[in-house]
Structures are given as structure tokens and as C-alpha cells.
Structure 1
Amino acid sequence: MGLPLVGETLNAMTPSYSIDLHPFVKKRLQKYGPIFRTSLVGRPIVVSTDPEFNSYLSQQEGKLVELGFFDSFAKILKLSGEISTAGSIIHKYLRSITLNHFGAETLKEKLLPLIEKTVVKTLDSWSSQASVEVKHASSVMLLNFGAKHTIGYDAETSSDNFSDKFSRIMNSLLSFPLNVPGTAYHNGLKDRDMIITMLKDMLKKRRMSPDTHRGDFIDQISSDMDKEKFLSEDFVVYVLFGMLFAGFHPISSIMALAFSVLAEHPAALEELTAENEALLKNRENPNSSLTWDEYKSMTFTHQIVNETLRLGNLGPALFRRALKDIPVNGFTIPAGWTIMVLTSALQLSPNTFMDPLEFNPWRWKDLDSLVVSKNFMPFGRGSRQCAGAEYSRVFLATFLHVLVTKYSWKTIKAGRIARKNMLVLGASIHIKLSEKKN
């Protein structure tokens, strides 16, 4: 369990210059097996990489476990009380409203062409620059698009720089919850409070001026405040904050990783390009927008997305809190302890994925669906699966479609694709994007 208070946090947060599992995890798995205990940022934690136990936990939402987080994560994002109660009417409402605005039907009927338009505009802007740091530039694109369709935010007319503030908040989530000036946690709280204040002003304006309604996420949740008692102003503001946060950071890391692995695997890039260029050739109008049927038909593109998600570990861990003592393998997880379901270990396991550190999108042709369901959970699983899963996949696939059909690129500065700590992927790569000549 490490040192008092600090526990084993310092070891867990040390950077690791490999896409493989962090050494902190790897050593303990070798020593203790697929389930072990530790102490991180002041919390006793059980880490599980056992597929059967993890599958069992996913069926125990609201019975044996509920959502649980590190203190810094929970306090900065206000993930406590009513928001974290598993299986509640609140969770069902939030999932429903999210799917209503970002789910498959909305993507099909409305968002897909808007996403493509945003990607086209973004990549056109990138091509005019000497070099682009992909992760940061992708974060800006994703956050601005998500904010526009969540709260009506217009990045071109706003003086608020959302992306920088959210990036600093991200860096504070796994820090010690020490609110002292100069610390990452303190700075994260300051940026959070500034965004919260802005969101409160937006919410008040929408509620006071119905004529400004645009049919977006904030419109629906603000109008529902008159019908649902649990939708207090503070609660709604933190829901909006959480929506914006969830929509930008993880996917930008995956986009950066995609540039890196495709540059290193020309055969994969060639097949990806051929598939997407074939879509254009089969259209009556080559300049028409990507359709939902075309998106669904992009077999190899989806394999690229899956393989990049597997290596990048979009959500490297799922956190639960034990509501009761939980027996497992002759031991007991005490009530109140946090359980970290380490999905990254499952996705990099040689027992499931042959040569797990190798980028091999072709492997997805032959993988058994049952094995995949227990060992590949980039968006969570069961009733808690991320409601934005299809939205993320569509954004990734559309980004790749526009990228390989319209542009080529060369790496200007290849930063290491590595683990910033045991949970966060560091993916820094600078590229020069050039438009393809017909």
C-alpha cells in the first residue's frame, strides 16, 4: 500500500515511454495476479484486470457498486451525490438526453454532414500552417464542435479560450487534492470556476429569453428544469460542464496516435486510402457529403478505429465504489473502497490479442465477438457505456475519411507516444499537412 497518505502515487504517476502497460501496473500484475490493492492520492484502491470479475461488476451497478472517482477528479468535476448514484432515474435521464442530441439517429439525420464540414474546414486550416501539433489542434476542433451543439458556443466570435482551460483542468484530475496556489489542483479549480460562471450566465439567458432557443442540448435541459425536480441550476451547469469535458480530450489523443501508427504502417494507410477513395468514385457526385450508409460500409476504416482505440485506451480505467463488502478469490474488497477496472490491461493482454503492442487492424476480421465484448471496452460497458460512443466513432471515421482522400502529410517532429502516467496517454506529434493534387 506504499507510504502513509501518499501511498504508491509517485510510482503510478511517473511517465513511461512506451505504449505498453505502465510499469507500475505490469510489475504488480506479475507479482500479485490480475487483482491487486494499492493506495493512490489518499485512497485505498483495488485494481482489477480480471475479465470475469470485471464482467460481474458491470452487472452489479446499484447493487454492489456505484460510480467512484479519485478525490481530485470528483471534486473538480463535482462527481458526487446525485450525479454518481448508479442506476438512478437521473442517470437514465442524462443518458436519454445525450443520445437524443449525440446518438446514432441524430448523427444519421443531422450531425454527420456537420462533422464532415468541420473536419474539412479544420484540415484546410492545418494545411496552411508550417506545422501542426495534432493533439492540441484536434482538441480545439472537438471542443468547439461539441460546445456549439451543446451550448451554442461560437469559437469564432467568443473571447473565451475553452480549449486551454479544459486542457489545464485535465492535467489536474489525477493530482493530490491540495488547494494551494501554484498546484495543478488549485489551477484546475480556478479554470473550472471560470467555466462554471460562464455556463451559469448562458443558462440564465436561455431561460429568460425563449426566443434565443436553438433546439440544442442546453435548450432541452433548461426547459426540462420546469418538469424535473432534480434539475437544479447547479446540477444542470455541472452536467453541461461534464458534457463539454467528455467530448474533447480522449478523442484528440486517439487522433494523434492515428497519425503516428499510420505513418509507421504504410500498408494500412494504403488500404485505408483505397477504401475511402472508392467511396468517392462510386458516388454520382464526388463532392457530395459522406452518407450514413457510406459510413457504415467503411469496414477497414472501422478496423483502424478499433485498433487505434485498443492501443490508445480511450478510457483506460472505469472507477466504481464498493457499496458492500465484495468477496473475490478468497479475499474481501471492503465497502467504501474504490475499484479500478483497468480496461487498458485487457486491451493489451497477449491472452486475447496476439502481439498486443503491434498495430494490426486486420486482426479485427477474425476476433470472436464474445471475447471482444469482455476485453475491449473503450467506452465502458453495460448500462454505464458512454452515450457518446457512436459520436466518437463517427468523428474518428469521418476525420480519417477526409484526411486520406484530400491530404497527405509528413512528420515534422515525432514526439513519443507514451504514458504520461498509469492512466493518461501522451501523444505529441507535429505534422505538415499538404493537399493532394488531382
Structure 2
Amino acid sequence: MAWLVMYFISFLVIAFAHWVYRWRNPKCKGLLPPGSMGFPIFGESIQFFTSHSLQGIPPFIQHRITRYGSLFRTSIVGQKVIVSTDPEINHFILQQEGKLVQFWYTESAAQITGPQGFMVHHGDSHKYIRNLALNLVGPENLKQTLLTEMDQTARQHLDQWTALSNLDIKKATEIMLFKLAASKVLSFDERKAMELRNYYKALVEGFISFPFYVPGTSFYASMQGRKNAIKLIKETLNERRSSCKNNNKKDFLDYLLSEVDKEETFLTEEIAVDVICLLIFAAYETTSSAITLALKFLNQHPHVLKQLQVEHEKIIETREDKESSITWNEYRSMKFTHMVINETVRLANIAPGIFRKVVQDFQIKGYTIPKGWMFMICPLSVHLSAEKYDDPLSFNPSRWNGQELHAASKKFMAFGGVQRLCAGADFAKLAMAIMLHYLVTKYKWKVVDEENIVRKPGLTFLDGFKVQIYT
């Protein structure tokens, strides 16, 4: 009997050792990039999620660049990943959308954004859905409609904020943008918008996580948040359908429903709901972070703040009505403001990476990139590269003088690149410009408490960012 037990234990040890070996040495029809796969299933996720300073290249990335070079393999949240910090490789990968790679994120993000969300659509269907989104956040609608509404919203909230001696500007701008998005997309009043926001607060927690649907995990909390948010959006859609004859809202939901009702369309109500869910998320989360960091950087660099004030004061001086709203021509004339925006998002690197799924084996720089793996482009390593930027860790908006301010490039991917340039990029820039305009002209502000801002790996404001706004 004892020998049977020993035989069984030996079998388990050998099987486990073989499993570990196969995990650490994945099969490949060629030579994989160097790297480590970590422990089975968990990979190197703990190291990847370890919090670190806002400044500089994340230790997870820097240590592996030093050891393996600009292209290496790893495993994060159960997925096999090739990481690139090479601008040339990054540019090549972004050009291969729909060929060698397709848009993707982590498995958890795919489930949280929904089975019919942006991530699962490629080629013509992606272009169609992207154009639907641009109908709301594209330059034409920003110019015709949203500019005025965003201007009014910003002034209204800034007036309210002056009554507070200690304002968390990250949370405050997040709420402001969320309410605006919920109003434009679903015609929600403040009460319903805040109800929906409570669900979104849970939704974002497990965006990059192990997809373990078990109570107590961040992924479970996110899926519960998604479930409640989708329920409220569907209820709104159904109410709109039942009262369509008397509806005079004409919001983005109405626009999507009109597209659903067209004879030749693949758009369904299920796709529309997932599009709405992700679009609202995209409208507030990263933009509020960028606005907050802009204030942090401007507070640390008074000469830049002064230069920004000069630009906006000149805009006011040329107006007949000094209290009028910002015009589209004024917005487009804010050259230095856009330099500040670009420099902020370059240093912010709000998203930890740009992800693609490899759809067929291909060779690059002598290595084989296998089908089924995830490819992670690391913009932060390029944005903070001394080879691409002089004194890369410094906040210096003037470095953008004479450069293209509204396009992606090999060395600037804060808003994505090539076919997947962020549809909401213009919305985010406009929101930032409007807030900065009023904060350096009509209002004054001072930092009360910067608290602790870290990456883990996404940008995280552990205790907010406290300011006082006054006239």
C-alpha cells in the first residue's frame, strides 16, 4: 500500500514539474522573445500590479528592459504577453490592425465591456461603431453642440466649487463629466446620473484583473457593477421604445435606436447597450485624471502657468462680450494650451498599455510572435525615453512648439494610434481646454493637499487631489 502512495505522490510531483516546465517554456514555431513567464496561471501579475511612483518608467518594465531588451515575453492575469518598448516595433504593430493583430485588451476587460462592445468588433463593423461614437464626441458635434454645453457645465460647477475650502478635484471633475455624459447619452437628470455612477465606480475596479467570478474579487465587483449599469441602461432603452411617439429628447440613445431600426444595419439593441456602457466610461475616467494632473504640473511650474494665463487673457481681450462662452475658433487658437495638454498626457500615461491580440504567427527582429498571444505596446517607455525627448521627466510644454499637436506618432501615443486612435480624444482635449481657460482667467486655485498619486499599473489617486478654488 505504501508503494502505491509513493507512486501516486511521485506521479503528482512529475506532473507538476512538467506543467511548470511547459508554462515557463511555451511552445513556439521559432524563437520566442526572451523573458520569464513566472509561476503558472499567476505569471508575473504580482510584480506588474505592484504600485510605484508616478514619475519614471515602471520598475516592472525597466527591470525587464535592462535584462531582456526592448522586446520581451511575460504572463499577466493568466494571459501570455509580448511587451514592446521599441517605437519602431510599436508603429509596425499599430499598422497591422486587421492583418497580423486585432484590437484587444485583457479577458477581464473584454467581459466587463460586454460581449457586443467595442473590443469584439473589427474591420468594417468597428469603423461603423466608431462612426456612431463620433456622432457624439467627434469634432463636428463638439463644434456645433457640445462646446457650448461643456462651457456652461464647467462654469456652473466651478461656481459651486468656490463654496468649498477643500475640494477633491479628481472626484469633482469625474462627477461633472459623468453627469454631462449621462445627460447627452441618456437624458439622465442628476439623480439618475449619480445612481448610474455608483455602478460604474464598481465597474472600473477589475478592468485589468484575473477573470475569476468569485465574490470578494475585484473582477466579481466589476461584473456586478456592469450588471447593474446595463440593467439601468436597458430599462431606459425600453422606456424610450414604449414612449417613442411622445419622445422629444433627441439624445444619443435616440440616435442609436434610429440606426437599429434601419433595414440594412447589423446594429442591434444589445450592441447599442454595450456601446453606451463603454462610451460613458470613456467620457469621464481618463479625462478627469488628465485635468487633475494638469493642475498638479502647473502648480509645480509657475512660469508655465503664467504663459498659459497670457494666452487666455489675450483671447478675452479680443472679445466684444468679455463674459461670452468660448467659441470654436478661440478653442482652436489655443496653441500653448494644446502644448500643455500634450505634455500632461505624455507624462500622465494614464493607460498602462495598448493591447492587441495576435491572430497569426509572424516574425519580427528574429523572433516569432505566436498566434493567440497578447501584444502589449508600452507608450510610457517611449514617452519617457531620453532618446525621444530631451529631459523626458520634466514638464516642458514648449517642447511641442512647431510640432503637430493633434496626431499620433511613433513617439507619442497618448491617444492611441493609426486605425484605433481614441474616438474620444477631441472630447477629452476640449474638456481640458475649457477647464484650464476658466481656472486661469475667471478663477484662481491653490493646491491644498496633493496626497499620493501612484501607478498600479494604471494611474491611481489614492486619496484624491485637494484644491481650493476661489474668485
1:318 Cα offset (Å)? 1.2
- Contact kept, 8 Å, 1:312 with 1:425, in 2: the verdict is no
Paired letter, 1:300: F
Secondary structure at 1:219 match in 2 = helix
Q: Assess if the C-alpha contact under 8 Å between 2:116 and 2:271 holds in 1.
A: no
**Runs of 5+ in structure 1 lacking a partner?**
none
Matched, 1:126 2:161: yes
* Residue 398 in structure 1 maps to residue 434 in structure 2: yes
Does the 8 Å CA contact 2:205/2:221 hold for their aligned counterparts? no
1:199 maps to which residue? 233
Could you say which residue in structure 1 is the equivalent of 2:209?
175
CA distance in structure 1 between the partners assigned to 2:432 and 2:167 by the alignment: 18
- Aligned match of 2:302: 266
Mark the CA change 1:265 to 1:198 in structure 2 (over 3 Å): closer, same or farther.
Answer: same
CA deviation map 1:223-273 (0-9, x unaligned): 111225532222211111011111111111111111111111000111111
- CA distance in 1 between partners of 2:407 and 2:147 (Å): 30
Question: In the alignment, is the contact (CA less than 8 A) between 1:200 and 1:237 conserved in 2?
Answer: yes
1:367: Cα distance to partner? Answer: 4.8
Give me the whole-angstrom Cα distance separating, in 1, the residues matched to 2:52 and 2:44.
15
SS at match of 1:170: helix
Name the aligned partner's letter for residue 204 of structure 2. M
The CA distance in 1 between the partners of 2:403 and 2:460, in whole Å, is 25
Aligned to 1:135: 170
Distance 2:382 2:247 in 1: 47
| Secondary structure at the counterpart of residue 363 of structure 2 | strand
Structure 2 counterpart of 1:310, from 322, 329, 346 = 346
Post-superposition shift, 1:181?
1.4
Q: CA deviation at 1:86?
A: 2.2
SS of the equivalent of 1:412 reads strand
Tell whether the 8 Å contact from 1:148 to 1:154 is kept in structure 2 after alignment.
Answer: yes
Is residue 2:242 matched to residue 1:208? yes
Give the letter for the 1:415 counterpart.
E
Query: How far, CA to CA, are the matches of 1:241 and 1:362 in structure 2?
Result: 37
CA displacement 1:354-394 (0-9 Å, x = unmatched): 11111001111155889961111111111211111111111
| Distance (whole Å) between structure 2 residues aligned to residue 370 and residue 127 of structure 1 | 33
Instruction: Map residues 336-347 of structure 1 onto 2, 5 A cutoff.
Output: 336-347=372-383
Give the 3 Å change call, closer, same or farther, for CA 242–284 of structure 1 in structure 2. same
| TM superposition score normalised by structure 2 | 0.88
Closer, same or farther: CA 279–33 of 1 in aligned 2, 3 Å: same
Deviation at 1:130, TM superposition (A): 2.0
Quick one: structure 1 residues 26 and 107, their matched pair in 2 at CA, closer, same or farther if it must change by over 3 Å? same
SS in 1 for 2:249: coil
Considering only aligned residues, what root-mean-square deviation do their CA atoms show, in Å?
1.9
How much has 1:51 moved relative to structure 2?
A: 1.3
Matched length: 432
Q: Is the 8 A contact 2:112 2:226 kept in 1?
A: yes
Task: Check whether the contact 1:277–1:405 (CA below 8 A) recurs between aligned residues.
Answer: yes
The aligned residue for residue 254 of structure 1 is: 290
Question: Matches of 2:118 and 2:346 in 1, distance apart?
Answer: 32
Of 9-18 and 313-322, the range deviating more from structure 2: 313-322
- Shift of residue 81 of structure 1? 8.5
Query: Deviations 1:11-57 (Å, cap 9, x if unpaired)?
Result: 01011023212100111112111111100000000111211111112
Opposite residue 57 of structure 2, the aligned amino acid is L
- Which residue does 1:25 correspond to in 2? 61
CA distance in 1, matches of 2:214, 2:194: 25
Percent identity of equivalent pairs: 37
Tell me if the contact between 1:352 and 1:371 (Cα under 8 Å) persists in the aligned partners: no
CA 81–413 in structure 1, closer or farther in 2 if over 3 Å, else same: closer
CA distance in 2 between partners of 1:135 and 1:340 (Å): 28
Q: 1:108 aligns with which of 96, 120, 143?
A: 143
What's 2:322 paired with?
286
User: Which amino acid is 1:288 matched to?
Assistant: S
Measure how far apart 1:320 and its partner are: 0.5
For 2:380 and 2:118, the matched residues in 1 are separated by 28
The answer to whether residue 103 in structure 2 is matched with residue 67 in structure 1 is: yes
Question: What letter matches 1:225 in structure 2?
Answer: V
Which segments of 5 or more consecutive residues in structure 2 lack a partner in the other structure? 1-36
1:408 Cα deviation after fit: 1.4
The answer on whether the counterparts of 2:202 and 2:221 sit within 8 Å (CA) in structure 1 is: yes
Name the CA distance, whole Å, in 2 between partners of 1:357 and 1:56.
26
| Contact persistence 2:167–2:466 (CA under 8 A) | yes
Asked if residue 217 in structure 1 is aligned to residue 252 in structure 2, the reply is yes
Counterpart residue identity of residue 137, structure 2: F
Give me the whole-angstrom Cα distance separating, in 2, the residues matched to 1:270 and 1:148: 35
Do the aligned residues in 2 keep the contact of 1:275 with 1:298 (CA within 8 Å)?
yes
Quick check: which has more Rg, 1 or 2? 2
Decide which of 27, 51, 55 is 1:15's aligned counterpart: 51
Match of 1:164 among 153, 178, 198: 198
Q: Distance in 2 between matches of 1:265 and 1:413?
A: 16
Is the counterpart of residue 91 in structure 1 residue 126 in structure 2? yes
Distance 1:274 1:29 in 2: 42
Q: What are the superposed Cα offsets for residues 92-131 of structure 1, whole Å, 9 maximum, x if unpaired?
A: 1111111122211111111111111111111111111121
